[in-house]
Structure formats: C-alpha cells, structure tokens
C-alpha cells in the first residue's frame, strides 16, 4: 500500500528550510525587501496548487537524492542562490530537524500537529502578502481533508516510513548538542519525563480485576521517569492552539553557529532507496519530471539583483567544504540545478524516463551499469 507521505515530507522539510533561511538572511543583514521576496517566492512555489496536487497522489517515498534535487529547485525559485556546499548543509539541517520531530512525536497522529506548526509559522512569514497566504490556507485545507479521517494504523505506517527514510542519517547539529537533545555521536536523546500522549494513562499503576470485571487490587511500580497527564489535545483545525511544540521555529536567536553541522556516520552506499541503482530508478525519474515540471518559472526575465547566502561561518569554510566534495557530513553527489531552465530539465528527465519504457521488455545483462549511467545523466542536468 502506498501512503501519502510526500506532502508531509515536503511541507515539514520546506518549513525547516524557511526557518534556516530566515535565520541566515537576518545574520547576513539582508534588506527587508529582499528577505520578504525570498520568503514569498519560496512559499508560493512550495504551496502552488499544481505542485501540491502532484504530491497528494498516493506514491512511495523516494531517495534523498530526489528529495534534495526538488528542494534545491524550490530554494532557487527566489533571487537567492546557494552554493552546492551550502545546499548540502541546508539539506542536512532540514532532515535532522524533521527527524528529531518525528522521533519524539508522542503519537503517530501528532505528525499532523507538527505539520500544522510548520504551516502556522510559514503563514506568519508571508502574512503581508495575501495571495501567498491563500496558497498556504488552501493547502492546509487539503491536508485536513486528506489526513484528518485516516485511522491510527495509517498514521503509524506514515511514521514508520519516515523513520526508515531517516534511519541512516546521524549528522550532529550544534543547536541540538548545545540544548542536550542530541548526543555527540549524532543520536537523539529520548526523555523519560513530561506529559504522556493524549488519551494515554500515566504509567506506574497496575490494576487487577476478577472474572466479573471488578477491580480487586492496585499496586505501583517505578517507571524510571517523571510522567504527567497530557495538558489537552492540540487543535487539528485550520487555526487553533496546537499545544505540541515540535515543529516550531527553533532558530529564534541570530547566531551563525546555529547552522553548524558535522559528520558522525556516512550514508550507506547500498541503502535501499538511496543513491544506489535500484528498481525505483524509473519512478524516481518520473517523479522528478512531474514535480519539477509543475514548478513553473515566469518567462519574463528577472530584473532583481540576485544575492548569495552562505550557511557556513565564512566564505573560506564554504570553499573548503565544496572542494572536499560537499558540506561536512554529506555523502551526496553534487547536483547542479539550473533554476531558469526548468522546462528543458523536465523534458530531458521525461526523455530519460521514456528510455526505460522503450527497453522495458528487453533483457538486460548489465542492469547495474545501466542504472549507474542513468543516475550519472541526472547529475549532468
């Protein structure tokens, strides 16, 4: 069964991207007009109707390579530009932040509250542009319509799918380590105290019943933590108090070091669904062609002055990271995205995907090599 995982992934990762970019724009003392334009352009693209309609189709979650390619394209729909090393770092920060939120999610259904926290904050970023706010509101209504009626079992499947997607990524983030929510080895800290999930009893009590269902004895056991009853359930409506804090903007202080990452473990080169050639190569190419094709760029040449954002403390650090093959902790190949050539890129991707169909019934004796060639062709786009 394919679940609608992609909309939640893109909304939450997109939200984290906007948090980080907002922090870096302030750190670089970017003018208010430019900052506002960057936010409006990115949010307008992320929440465009064609893009969200494509995401809402039931389909499997694809590789980090595909996800980062599309997110790079979304980031570059604005006048802001990121070097490959900075984009690698930005992707690591986005993924680790969302992984932390999914990891500590009190119950599977609270994935929606995390998503709504992101959408509420994104709405604040663009509150002075009603047309963009309408894009966010319309997407929010679609998410409510599609996900609110799902049974708990499907939410559990969604959460499990996301955890599998994140399982090989253990990048250390300075903010997490400083706040003691991540260990030096890149693993997150699970708390043994605080409120339990809504609808759950506080652990520590054993009740014994007789064969007539009457309670006959009570005893207590040590829980190893300090748990409390849930405050109340968060609102799943378009507007309301979410209660859950996961998914809110943690970059509230303007410190450059807040975006520092460092490597603890590389991705396995043979992890299923990652960069290694596999049977999903055709589907990934089709996904890229559809998603990138749905993000239209105005044919009118841009007249705004573009500017570059650096996610490293200095330009020298960024140059060193790029020379070494990417940001610290990244094991991805660099993918160069031409932001102004979307239609051409989408056409090329569609042609590549078509080659799969032409040769689908022909026996292949070197399928692994063919996959290598196709993925290499993606790198050249």
pLDDT band at 335 (very low <50, low <70, confident <90, very high): very low
Distance CA 169, CA 90 (A): 14
Does 264 or 164 have the greater pLDDT score? Answer: 164
Report pLDDT for 174: 85
- Going by C-alpha positions, the residue among 332, 312, 331, 309 that lies closest to residue 320 is 312
Q: Are strands 215-220 and 205-209 parallel, antiparallel or unpaired?
A: antiparallel
The DSSP string of 291-302 is HHHTS---SSPP
* pLDDT at residue 341, rounded to an integer: 43
pLDDT at 86: 87
d(CA 81, CA 174): 24
β-strands 307-308, 80-81 pairing: parallel
Sign of CA dihedral 292, 161, 58, 1: positive
Q: Which helix (H) or strand (E) holds 62?
A: none
Give percent above pLDDT 90 in the chain: 39
Percent of the chain at pLDDT exceeding 70: 65
Higher per-residue confidence, 12 vs 176: 12
Is residue 122 classed exposed, middle or buried when 0-12, 13-18 and 19+ CB atoms within 10 A define those classes?
buried
pLDDT higher than 50, residue 123: yes
Q: What's the average model confidence in pLDDT over 61-75?
A: 88
DSSP state letter for 257: G
How high is the pLDDT of residue 46? 94
Q: What is the dihedral of CA 192, 198, 199, 202, to 10 degrees?
A: 30
353 band by pLDDT with thresholds 50, 70 and 90 = low
Residue 43 above 60 pLDDT? yes
Looking at the predicted structure, is the pLDDT value of residue 301 above 50? no
Note the pLDDT tens digit of each residue in 136-175.
Answer: 999 999 999 999 889 999 999 999 999 999 998 899 988 8
Measured between alpha carbons, how far is 36 from 22 in angstroms, rounded to an integer? Answer: 9
Residue 248: which pLDDT band, with cuts at 50, 70 and 90?
very high
Residue corresponding to tokens 């939450």: 12
Question: What average pLDDT score do residues 205-229 get?
Answer: 92
**Residue 315: what pLDDT?**
62
- The region of weakest confidence among 71-75, 153-157, 279-283 is 279-283
Instruction: Give the least confident one: 59-73, 256-270, 286-300.
Output: 256-270
Give the separation between CA 254 and CA 75, rounded to whole angstroms. Answer: 21
Q: Are strands 193-195 and 226-228 parallel, antiparallel or unpaired?
A: parallel
Predicted structure pTM score: 0.74
Does 352 score more than 60 pLDDT?
Answer: no
Summarised one tens digit per residue, pLDDT across range 177-210 is 888 889 988 899 888 888 888 888 899 999 999 9
Range from 3-7, 118-122, 268-272 that averages highest in pLDDT = 118-122
Contacts of 36 (CB under 8 A, 6+ apart): 128, 129
Q: Measuring CA to CA, which residue among 14, 28, 12, 132 is closest to residue 80?
A: 28
**Domain residue ranges in the chain:** 5-171+235-257+282-294+307-315
Q: How far apart are CA 140 and CA 269, in angstroms?
A: 36
């Amino acid at each position: 069964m394919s679940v609608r995982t992609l909309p939640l992934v893109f909304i939450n990762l997109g939200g984290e991207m906007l948090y980080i970019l907002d922090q870096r724009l302030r750190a670089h003392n970017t003018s208010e007009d430019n900052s506002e334009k960057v936010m409006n352009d990115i949010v307008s693209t992320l929440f465009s109707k064609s893009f969200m309609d494509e995401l809402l189709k039931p389909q499997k979650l694809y590789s980090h390579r595909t996800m980062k390619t599309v997110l790079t394209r979304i980031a570059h729909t604005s006048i802001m530009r990121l070097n490959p090393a900075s984009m690698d770092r930005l992707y690591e920060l986005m993924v680790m932040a969302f992984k932390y939120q999914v990891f500590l999610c009190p119950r599977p259904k609270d994935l929606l509250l995390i998503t709504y926290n992101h959408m509420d904050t994104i709405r604040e970023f663009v509150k002075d542009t009603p047309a963009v706010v309408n894009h966010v509101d319309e997407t929010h209504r679609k998410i409510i319509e599609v996900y609110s009626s799902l049974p708990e079992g499907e939410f559990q499947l969604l959460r499990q799918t996301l955890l599998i997607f994140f399982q090989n990524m253990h990048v250390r983030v300075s903010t997490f380590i400083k706040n003691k929510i991540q260990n030096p080895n890149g693993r997150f800290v699970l708390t043994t105290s605080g409120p339990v999930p809504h609808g759950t009893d506080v652990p520590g009590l054993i009740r014994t019943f007789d064969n007539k269902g009457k309670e006959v004895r009570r005893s207590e056991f040590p829980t190893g933590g300090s748990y409390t009853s849930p405050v109340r359930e968060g609102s799943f409506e378009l507007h309301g108090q979410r209660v859950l804090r996961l998914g809110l903007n943690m970059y509230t202080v303007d410190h450059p070091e807040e975006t520092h990452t460092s490597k603890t473990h590389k991705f396995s080169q043979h992890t299923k669904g990652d960069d290694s050639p596999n049977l999903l190569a055709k589907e990934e190419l089709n996904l890229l062609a559809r998603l990138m094709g749905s993000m239209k760029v105005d044919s009118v040449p841009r007249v705004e002055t573009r500017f570059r954002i650096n996610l490293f403390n200095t330009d020298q650090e960024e140059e060193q990271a790029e020379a070494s093959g990417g940001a610290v902790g990244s094991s991805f190949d660099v993918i160069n995205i031409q932001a102004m050539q979307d239609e051409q890129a989408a056409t090329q991707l569609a042609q590549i995907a078509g080659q799969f169909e032409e040769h689908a019934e022909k026996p292949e004796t070197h399928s692994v090599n063919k996959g290598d060639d196709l993925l290499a062709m993606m790198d050249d786009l």
